[in-house]
């Protein structure tokens, strides 16, 4: 998440000034999970790196995904445009 925050701050300037840049320690999430059921489902994912591939879609469909940076910025710009943030 820190890399997403950095991308937003680098490209959106003042519009991204409230984007948090600190990370939440895992222990805080574990404590929150004691009181908030949806948070409990995140606990097994802590500290794990997930790698996904679009290789089959590229190979079979000829599809080309957007870069991560482009996707993050497009989502942020859409949220700003509809005043969701």
Per-residue pLDDT reduced to its tens digit, 24-53: 888 998 999 999 999 899 899 888 888 999
Helices and strands: H and E segment counts in the chain: 5, 0
Q: H or E element: which one contains 4?
A: helix 2-12
d(CA 1, CA 45): 14
Task: Determine if the pTM surpasses 0.95.
Answer: no
- Provide the b/e sequence for 60-73 (b: ≥16 CB within 10 Å): eeeeeeeeeeeebb
Res 15 pLDDT > 90: no
- Sign for the CA dihedral angle at 43, 44, 48, 51 comes to negative
Can you tell me the mean pLDDT for 44-64?
Answer: 92
């Amino acid at each position: 998440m820190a890399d997403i925050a950095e991308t937003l701050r680098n490209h959106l300037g003042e519009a991204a000034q409230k984007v948090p840049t600190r990370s939440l320690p895992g222990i805080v999430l574990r404590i929150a999970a004691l009181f908030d059921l949806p948070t409990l489902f995140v606990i097994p994912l802590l500290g794990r790196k997930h790698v996904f591939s679009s290789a089959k879609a590229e190979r079979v469909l000829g599809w080309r995904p957007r870069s991560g940076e482009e996707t993050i910025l497009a989502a942020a710009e859409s949220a700003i445009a509809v005043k969701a943030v």
